[in-house]
Homo-oligomer: A and B are copies of this chain.
Amino acid sequence: MTAPVEDAALSEAFQGRKVLVTGGLGFLGSSLAHRLVAVGAEVTLVDSLIPEYGGNLENIRGIEDRVHVNIADVRDPHSMKYLVQGQQYLFNLAGQVSHIDSMRDPFTDLEINCRAQLSILEACRLNNPEIRIVFAGTRQQYGRPDYLPVDEKHLSRPVDVNGINKMAGEWYHILYANTYDIRTTSLRLTNTYGPRMLLKHNRQGFVPWFTRLALLGEEIQIFGDGTQRRDFNYVDDVIDALLLVAPDERTYGEIYNLGADEIVSLLEFTELLLELAGKGRYRIVPFPEESKKIDIGDYYGSFEKIRTEIGWSPKVTLEEGIRRTLAYYRDRLEPYLT
């Protein structure tokens, strides 16, 4: 496979550069780390390794000697103040990403997705204002779409605490660009899947959970009728987007949706997953009352802005992406199960 972001351009931007990644042992952070190491960046991964979250040392197997791992919580302003110094890039990917956890414990979500973001930005403004920051935003802040595909001009009407706090966290980044000329960009990610995603519980969305069940040959329960349509990005495509916008000055202070050309229903996704896994089964079950209220119906995003302005588009088909994902876990499922 050839990376769509050419290695020459990547090397020029990142070789020998100091790069800090928050959430660095998580799904996105570690996938990014593998790419950065390959082009010769000096990578520091910050992660709290909180058991419930996605950080996993298994994720950096093979590059553990070529990255610096710093265990710290982004909520700790003192650590962050030190760690941002001397860095040229910050990929700010740490976050509480579970809808369910955000409703059960809204204050923890607020501390991670709002307060910590503000404190990272303040640390940069005061100690390293030249740093380049790319933030992982989320399509979750849009809530239930008024129209499809959802572009960046769509109103944000989040339907959970996580969506509200991520929205605020994103806007701090944009504000620091507009007001203090800190060079920030936000990518609003949609359903991202692939190797290294958290499989150990079902509170981070249906994709990892369904993948786990398929790998274990267990029954998948689909809520409603399974006709809700979604877009999916394979993780490598998302990493490409992060690496593409980071050195591009046209992206400062900007927000971009990611998205995909293939729009499929939950049912279609599940059937494809089971077919490729060669085992497992699914069953349609009624929407639990709680979930129904916050169901957003169909969602898929327009990525026209980043496609036309920056030249990003996803390269990996859903079938190919699921294939690679299943292949990854087949060899090492155990470290992801508990």
Please list the residues of chain A having a beta carbon within 8 angstroms of any beta carbon in chain B.
103, 106-107, 110, 114-115, 118-119, 122, 153, 155-161, 164-165, 167-168, 171-172, 174-175, 178-179, 293-294
Contact = CB atoms under 8 A, between A and B. Distances in A.
Contact of A293 (B157, B167, B179): B179
A159 B178 contact: yes
Contacts of A174: 157
Q: Which of A122, A158, A175, A179 has the most CB of B within 10 A?
A: A175
Nearest to A161: B175
Q: Which of A107, A110, A157, A168 has the most CB of B within 10 A?
A: A168
Given A106-B118, A115-B107, A294-B179, A171 B158 contact: yes
A291 to B, nearest CB: 11
Contact of A118 (B110, B157, B172, B175): B110
A165 to B, nearest CB: 7
Q: Is the interface of A mostly helix, strand, loop or mixed?
A: helix
Nearest to A172: B164
A115 B156 CA distance: 20
B158 A155 contact: no
Q: So how many copies of this chain end up in the complex? A: 2
A52 to B, nearest CB: 20
A23 to B, nearest CB: 21
Contacts of A103: 179
A125 to B, nearest CB: 10
Contact of A156 (B156, B165, B178): B156
B159 A164 contact: no
A147 to B, nearest CB: 12
Contacts of A294: 178-179
Given A153-B155, A155-B155, A158-B171, 12 more contacts: A103-B179, A107-B115, A156-B156, A159-B175, A159-B178, A164-B168, A164-B171, A164-B175, A167-B168, A167-B171, A178-B294, A179-B293
A103 B121 CA distance: 12
A172 B161 contact: yes
A48 B294 CA distance: 36
A141 to B, nearest CB: 9
A160 B168 CA distance: 11
Nearest to A118: B106
B155 A179 contact: no
